Each structure stands twice: as C-alpha cells, then as structure tokens.
Structure 1
Amino acid sequence: MKKGMKKGISSLIGLIMLLLLLSACALNSSGDDETKKSGQKTNDATVNKAEEKSYKATDLSALPDKTKARKDTFVAGISAPGGVFLPYFYENGWDGNATTPIFSPLVDLDKEGKPVPILADSWDTSKDQMTYTFNLRKNAKYSDGSPVTADDVAFTLTLLHDPAYNGYQDISLAAIKGGKEYKEGKAESIEGIKVLDEQRIEISTEKVNAKALLILGGQVLSKAYYGKDYEYGKLDYLKELYSKPLGAGPYVFSKYIPGQEIRYTANDNYYKGKPKTENLIYKIIDKATSLQQFETGELDYAGFPADDDTVGQLESLKFANVQVAPVNDYGLIYVNNTRPQFKDKEVRQALLYGMDRQKIVDVRFKGFGQVADVPVSPVSWAYNNEGVTQYEFDAGKAKKLLDKAGWKIGKNGIREKDGVQLKIRYLTADAEDAAIPIAKENYSDIGIKFEPEITDFNALVSKLTAKDYDFAAVSTSQILDPSDTVEELASNNPNNYVGYSNPKVDKLIQEGLGTLDIDKRKELYHELYKEFTQDPPYILIHYRQSARAISGQIEGLVPDNYTGIGSSLPNISIKK
C-alpha cells in the first residue's frame, strides 16, 4: 500500500499496522505488504540478514500459453481493492496500490531508500532545515495534457489541512507554518505555502522533521480537476471523483471490475515518455491460489511468503525469475507496560530470555526468517545491532531475574508476588500462531501461566486501544522511516498502546526526528536500540523473507523494498 490508513505516516506503526492490515500481496517487494516507504542507505557493515537468493529463468519456451499470448499487457495481482482511487482519501490499503500507477509524487525513494525527484525536478532546503523549495519539472503533465503546477501542490497541501479532511495523512506532522490556523478557520490561507511561479513553490515549516520531505512531496492532485468545486469545510463533492481518477503517473485509469481486475492504459503525457507496455492490469486474486495463477500464466508477477515448498516450486518453473530476500518489516509481541507485573524492566528482560524466539522463527518460517534484535528491518539504513543485547533463550537467566524482581514460585508452580500470580493473557488473531505452544511450554518451565486467546482483528484492536491486554501479537507494515517504528513509544504519544515510558527514549526519538543529517540519525537510532534492549518495551520476534516471481518474458521489472514494483512500471517491456 502507498501511505497507510488513518493518520498516515505517524500511525503506520501502532494500531493501524497491526496484523498486516494494510498488506498488499503481489504488488510490493515482500509479496504480502506494501505501504509508503522511507530510509536512506543500508549499513552493510552491521547487517546480519538472512541470505538473499535468486534463480534465473532458463527456458522461456516453457512459458504458459496465456503468458505468451500477452504482447502488450503486464498483469500483477492485488487482493481486495475498495474502489476509492484517490490518494489521501482511501481507507483500504489495496486502493493505495491501485492509485500508484495513476498519481506520481513530487519525491519518492530509490531502491536504497534515498529520496529521488519525480514530479519535482529538484528541491532546496534552507540552512535552518525548515523551508523547502520544490522546483517542478516543466514537462510534468496530467494524463489530460494539462501541466502540473505549483498551484496544484499548494491546493493538495491546503486540502489536507481542511477541517473536513479525515483521511490517513496527518499533515500536521509536517508543521507547515499557519497550517493549524487555517484548519481552525482563523486564516483564509496557509502562511507557509508560497507559490513563487508556475514551477516553484516554497513551503515553510515550524520545526525540523526528518520525514517532512516525503510528507510535503507526496502525490499531487490537479486543482483544476479536484478543486473546481472546493469549498472550505466541505469535501463530500470529492466522492464523485473517487472512481474517476486523474493523475500525472505513468498509467491512466481505464476500468474497475469489482472482484475481477483494475485496468490501465499507458499515459501518453507521462513526463518520462509513454511507458513501454501499453496495458497494465491489477488482477484481483486469492492468496491461496496466487501461486497456481502464476504457474498457469494468469499473472506476470506475484509475491509469496517464503517457505521451502513455495521456493522449491517456483525454482522448478523454468520460465520464472525468482528472488528470495528479506522484507522491510518485522513481527513482535506487545507487552502492556501499564500492568503492575510488567512495570519492572527486569521482568520484561526475563520474558525475553524465557521465550525461545529462535524456535518460533524456525517453526514459522522454516529457514526463511531470523530472530529480530532491534525495532527496524535489516534492510534499513538505520539497522545496527552492535552492542545490542541479543536475549538468546536462557531459562536460567529468566528465573534469576524473576526471583530478583520478587516473583517467587508459589502454589501449583506459578510465580507469585504480593498474593498475585504471574499470568499472561496472550491475544492473537492467528489460530495457527507458532508462538502459542512454544511460549506456553517455555513460560510454564519458569513459573508463568500463559493463556492464549484467539480473537478477531476488530476485537484485538479494541482491546489494544483500551490497554485491556497483557501480550498481543502484532506486525509492522512496510517501514517508512526508522522513526516510524519507535515514535509510538514516546511517553506523550496517544498511540503508545504498550504504555511505555522512558525519558532517555523520549529524548532520542525527538533528536532522531530533529535532524536531516543521516549520519547523525544513524548514531541516534543505534543509541536508542541499545537503550531498548536494556529497558525493553516489548518482545521482538522475527524478521522474515519473501519470494517474488517474475515471468521470464518481462524485462525492466525490478521490485525493491521501498517502492515495490511502482518505480519499475514505466520501464516494463515484454520480450518479443
């Protein structure tokens, strides 16, 4: 998915991210989730990621007949779009994927996570790092031939400040000067937005924010098309345009057939030139049958969770190019720090030592995953596990820490303190959660009663919001920026669902956001990760891999961990 759901970038980690709600199977690099992305460069010196593998197509004559018959159409899978094809307004993550070919941003990220210009030809940042000047491409046009202008950028940012706007993008994070006053009806325009000329716009903010560039440089909406009926405080008129998108992306929306597919045609007016492949189809698929659909030629590209059977099956397809690589997310277990039994950090340390996380990862991923050690993916430029406590499974250490914290073995072998037994209620929406039998046995051995509760997603969300839980199984969506995975742990963050509080962490979170210096940010996040392992807010579980399969006749498709297949769309061609 492109930018997440309610309140966007800041809340992708937290309630919205849970259980891969925003996953988008075949469209991104992981094969089962895509959201907006961030980062700068992988720190190869400290990455300890699982081995990457690739298998090349060896016999294109083995291509399925359906694939061979496609001479000017590329087909990828999508799971369940809802039909709201307008950036900033959809609530279904699959709609985010569907808008990607239609709408281009000012700024996007390359395969290493570094910002690159798209509709913006370039940008400048002031010395105090609070004012951005975007220089738009002179040849940037919408699919109807009209030019992309600075007025369109100003309109888009103004729309996001409208009091009636309640979509996923929390524009307040960018802190544009005068934005709050406009939203509250105290000003008729936003002071910090200045259109310098048709191709240049200056945006002044009130504080330094390392993520501001991507927030300000998002997808651009045509003022002439989407703003012609705009009235302050009234946005319902846009609903009529949800199914009639107009953008400046590489493809033009053609038709949506609910339950079947979304069709696009190449944009003659795309600034890089008309895409090489005339037709694009996002075919609505069932994950359970997507492998079969790729094998029979119904799909040119598909992504899958990696396991021996799937990878082996894909490798056996002589017509497929296959990539097996780490994914830009991780899985964890929330620990409710507001519960009296979890307030002591030594108890939380014991809970880490006392759980055989390696066994959980082995059972679940069968060699295609690894135990997570810091709250960011190994593909991120911020990943650094040097000096970080690894918490390898050690029941003896767990027992000593629990004894030290005052939790003594009581009746029935369950630890007690002040007359209260140490019990853990574990919420999960996965009936086959590998952690259940393993954690139950591990914790029983050290005197903790582990009680799993399988629930549905909505019930889980409700309990997390109310902090009515002990443990809860969650997973991040695709990570935008290293700050996204830690911001929710700030003491004053309303999305702090684990109830964690650590003044040093609060300070490091703010410092990490408060500079655009990538090297300085690396240092700050490394220090933050070390602090987390001394005072763990939750239990990190896994990093995982995925498998991506590409039809051998497709050229120019290079999926990555930040843009999925989005950045490749203009370059895709079919071997003749």
Structure 2
Amino acid sequence: MKKILTSLFLSAAMAIGTIPAHAEDGDPIRYAIWSNPKGTFHPTLYFTDYDRAVIFSVFSRLVTLDEKQNPQPSLAESWDYSEDGRTLTLHLRKGVKWHDGQPFTAEDVAYTYQAEAAPDFPRDRPPFVKYLEGFEDYSTGKADSLPGIQVVDDVTVAFTFKAPYAAAFAHFADKPVLAKHIWDKIPLKTWNEASEALRNPVGTGPYKFVEFKPDQYVRLERNDDYFGGQPRTKTIIFRISNTQTAQSELINGELDIAEISSWNERDLQTYRDAGLRIVEQRGTSGQYLPFDTRNPKLSDKRVRQAIIHAINRQAIVDRLLFGHGAVFNTNAHPDSPYYPAGLDPYAYDPQKARELLAEAGWKDSDGDGILDRDGQKFVFTLNYPTGNRTRELSAPIIQQNLKAVGIETELVSADFNTTLAILQDPERSFDGVLMGGTFRPGIYDNNFWWERFTSPDLTGYADAFNSSVYPGVLRENIGAWLKGVNDEAIRVWLYIPNQGYVLGPKVTDYESHPYEPFAGIQNWAVSR
C-alpha cells in the first residue's frame, strides 16, 4: 500500500525553492481578464475563473500541481499515509503568517475543510468531505465534531477517510486554505452574504489584496513576508478588458499579459510584428452546452444524442480556433490517464440526428421545416454569456446546425454572472446554456448541477473509484463512469481551446503551465 501511495503522490520530501530577492523590477504587471469577477474571493465559495485568478494569487494551497498533475509541497511540506491507506497526515510549513500578521496553523486547515462538511455550508458539498470519517452525522447536525479531520499539533493535521481516497490532493490543489480567525466570526450560513469579507480577502499567498473596482480592475500588492520568498514585482493588476480591445492595449503597452482570444494567424502575426511573445499550451478548460435533463424536451437521451450529432464541433475548432484546439466526448480531459477508449465520438452527422429525433417522436408534421411533437414545435432556447469571443461566435453556428435538423433555436445573451445564475438556481428550467469550466485533475464526481441529472448507475461507479487508490481499479472504474456519462449525453462537449498567452516585450521570467497559470507569479517581472 505504501509503495502504491508513494508512486501516486510522490511522498513530498521536496521543498519550495527560494525565490530571488526583489530586484527593483518595473511595476506594475497588468494582467487582462475578460469578465468582471463576481467578488466572491473565498477559497471554498468561488464559482468563476475570474475570481479564481485573484484567489490563487492571494491565498496559498496545501499543495500545487506540477506539469504532470502530481502534487507538490506548498503550505504542506510533506505527507504520509497510514498502513491501511485511510489516514493522510500533512506536515505543515512553520512560520507562515496571514497577510494581517496572524500565524497560520493546522487549525486553519481543519477549519477550512470542516466547514465544507458543516450543516450550514452555503454551497454544494464537494465530494471530498463526503468520504471523511463521520461526515453523515456531522453534516446533519447529529454530531458536533468531525472525526475525519484532526489537529495533531500546530503544524500537523490528519484526514481520515472511510476508505482509501484517491482524490484528496486534487481537492487540496483546488481549494486554498482560509483564515479561521476571520471567517469563524461570521455565521457559516451567511458566508455568501458577507460582502465585506468576500471582497477584502486575507490570505498567505505571494500577493495581498488591495482593492476591487468592479468593471475596472483588481489590485494586489506584494507580500514581503511570503514563505516562498519576496515576490519580484510590487503590484499585480487584474485589469478587466475585452477581446476586442486587448490586442491594441497589449501593443500600446497598456497591458502586459493577456490570454489569447483569437488564434487567427493574422492576429498572431500582428503580435509578432509588434515584438510580443506568444506562449501556447494544451488547453485545460472545456466549453460545454449543458442540458436541463429534467426538461421534457430533453429528458430522452436520444434527443440529447441527436443534438450532439447535429453540431459540427470540429468545424467550430477549425473556423473559430483555427485548429488550435480539440474536440472531446466526456467529462474529462483527453490527457487524463483514465480517459477511456471506445467512447461514442458523436461525429457530425445530421442524418443520424434526424433519425434519433424521429425515434423520440419529433417529426415535421406540417412541412414547415421545424420538428413538432404533440402539437408543440421544437424550439430550443440557447443562453450564452458575453465576454468570451469564441463562445459568442459559436452560438450562431450552433443555431444554424440545429436548424438544419429541424430545431428552431433562439439565442439569448447576457453578461457572464447573469447567465451563470441560470445554472446556479436548481429550480430554474432551461434548454441549453453555453458555459466553460476548468478541468480539475483527479476529481471525478456525480455533481451534475449544470445538467440537473441523476443516475444510480453512474453513482455506483463513482463510489467505486472514490474508494480506491490502486491505479488499475481507478482506471477501470473511472473509465466505465466516463463511458456512462458519454452514453447519457448529459451535455454537448464542444471543444477544448488551446491555452495561449501574449506577453509584452518587457515581461521577464514568466512561467506557467496547464492547470497552474499563476504557478510562477512571484517571479514575474517587467522592465520599464
């Protein structure tokens, strides 16, 4: 067991390397984000990648991920497992301080993850806490303590699971640690309403929060006491920009770093001609069209399968991403070691789509080109957010594709947070919503809140793969689960855009990699 666990999790004897002392580099670094953050700068409550960018710069995590998705030390310097693989003990870094000067201890770690299991936790529970010893009694209020999390001493904390749990490190890498001395004063059930605390985060990360000007920017300042060494640049500004103006802002020196929003070769050449550097990586975020599977029009999986067949996903990659992306077919990145062979590829096939729709009872009975059933036309409302140009341009392509198989599609656009609210409200019905999300390495679960979907069969697979750390068992069970998701067609898996960044000519020592875009933020600098 120990050998297997060591091979899976590296047993972490490594420490973070010392970061060079501040070298009076240019200031500030201005990093473009495409939409206004929601202002939920909280490690366990955030929803959007725009909030996540701020959170991952302000807060520290127990572990980070390397380029092969292995956990690396951060707040946790090392770790070990018990003989039965059920208890994971983390040994924490000494001398770490919160941005307000208070000491970081194991109490903060225990508090952060125990809150996710508490009865009043104001968000969907992550799968992680459901596998902790004593979760059921604690989450329902029958017990006042959670035996699955134990503080051993100020720098040691232990997590005990009902069975060996493979995804613990994935959760630690995804959810930073919050400050108990701040959040313990706020009733848990009101966390989402604690605007003052949410918008003034206090972390242990390389940068301190200074201010958030909605629709303008988020300003961070260097944490001189950062445990990894003093960051090189004093100020980081996450500037809210848009894909239409970012190119000129980069060329004019108003921005220093921005994600690539267009892979058009003409745009790339414009950057090169201006002396800007382009960094391209494998994408880590998928673009989706989630279905409300409770919706009577979409409850038959044949209809959902038909819609996937009707959409020319490869054409979207070729036309909008200029080939800089990939199509995928289930709830995992194709680079995942558990991504199975033999998935239905849902090739673009309008005739197959028409056949499946006919089997489900949808036919054009009056010859007007629109399918109907029981006197109702098949009208599909497609909601999509503004802010991501490629996603915006994909909406009319999808509309055209669906029209070709007899589905009338109405397009409705709104800002990102308004569109996200459709999915966040479990009582609200919808047809489809264009949305994107970052893959979380090592996390596979049945929390289908986007799709309003449940399945006993898929839940069974999840219980199996979350109860083992053996690679062979994981590969078999996760693969079977991913095939089941593929067959149920709970969403349209549209495309994975390659990840790219444009760097201003004076940006130095930039480093990032898939899943850790801010891995080296403390080393970034500009010379002005």
More moved, 533-542 vs 408-417: 408-417
Summarize deviations over 1:135-182 as a string: whole Å, max 9, x none: 012243334555422223233334445555425764873443345545
Pairs within 5 Å for 1:203-218: 203-215=159-171, 218=175
CA contact (8 A) 2:372 2:378 kept: no
Pairs within 5 Å for 1:112-123: 112-123=68-79
CA contact (8 A) 2:291 2:450 kept: no
Q: Determine the structure 2 residue equivalent to 1:524.
A: 477
> Using the alignment, how far apart are the partners of 2:139 and 2:131 within structure 1?
12
* RMSD, aligned CA: 4.0
CA contact (8 A) 2:357 2:363 kept: yes
CA contact (8 A) 1:107 1:117 kept: yes
Summarize deviations over 1:252-281 as a string: whole Å, max 9, x none: 334555555444333332222222333333
Identity %: 24
> Using the alignment, how far apart are the partners of 2:187 and 2:487 within structure 1?
52
2:347 counterpart of 1:392: yes
Compute the displacement of 1:240 (Å): 5.2
Equivalent position to 1:452, from 410, 417, 436: 410
> Using the alignment, how far apart are the partners of 1:278 and 1:418 within structure 2?
63
More moved, 396-405 vs 149-158: 396-405
CA contact (8 A) 2:332 2:482 kept: no
Pairs within 5 Å for 1:79-478: 79-81=35-37, 85-88=41-44, 94-143=50-99, 146-161=102-117, 163-166=119-122, 170=126, 173-179=129-135, 181-182=137-138, 184-215=140-171, 218-224=175-181, 227=184, 229=185, 241-242=197-198, 244-256=200-212, 260-308=216-264, 309-318=266-275, 320-338=276-294, 345-384=301-340, 386-401=341-356, 410-412=365-367, 423-429=378-384, 442=401, 446=405, 448-454=406-412, 456=414, 458=418, 462=422, 465-466=426-427, 468-469=429-430, 471-478=431-438
Q: Determine the structure 2 residue equivalent to 1:515.
A: 468
Q: Determine the structure 2 residue equivalent to 1:497.
A: 451
Determine which structure has greater relative contact order: mean sequence separation of CA pairs < 8 Å that are 6+ residues apart, divided by chain length: 1
Compute the displacement of 1:508 (Å): 2.5
> Using the alignment, how far apart are the partners of 1:465 and 1:236 within structure 2?
17
> Using the alignment, how far apart are the partners of 1:546 and 1:481 within structure 2?
16
CA contact (8 A) 1:409 1:416 kept: yes
> 1:100 is paired with a residue of what secondary structure?
helix
> Using the alignment, how far apart are the partners of 1:234 and 1:415 within structure 2?
47
More moved, 128-137 vs 373-382: 373-382
CA contact (8 A) 1:554 1:575 kept: yes
List runs of 5+ in structure 1 lacking aligned partners.
1-39, 42-68, 490-494
> 1:353 is paired with a residue of what secondary structure?
helix
More moved, 197-206 vs 531-540: 531-540
CA contact (8 A) 1:90 1:96 kept: yes
Compute the displacement of 1:321 (Å): 1.9
> Using the alignment, how far apart are the partners of 2:127 and 2:480 within structure 1?
29
Q: Determine the structure 2 residue equivalent to 1:30.
A: none
TM-score (norm 1): 0.72
Compute the displacement of 1:88 (Å): 3.4
> Using the alignment, how far apart are the partners of 2:192 and 2:323 within structure 1?
50
Q: Which amino acid aligns with 2:160?
A: S
> 2:145 is paired with a residue of what secondary structure?
coil
> 2:320 is paired with a residue of what secondary structure?
helix
Compute the displacement of 1:292 (Å): 2.0
CA contact (8 A) 2:300 2:360 kept: yes
Compute the displacement of 1:542 (Å): 2.0
Summarize deviations over 1:183-210 as a string: whole Å, max 9, x none: 5554443333322222111122335543
Compute the displacement of 1:358 (Å): 2.9
> Using the alignment, how far apart are the partners of 1:206 and 1:167 within structure 2?
23
- In structure 2, relative to structure 1, the CA distance for the partners of 1:208 and 1:310 (3 Å cut) is farther
2:523 counterpart of 1:571: yes
Q: Which amino acid aligns with 1:480?
A: R
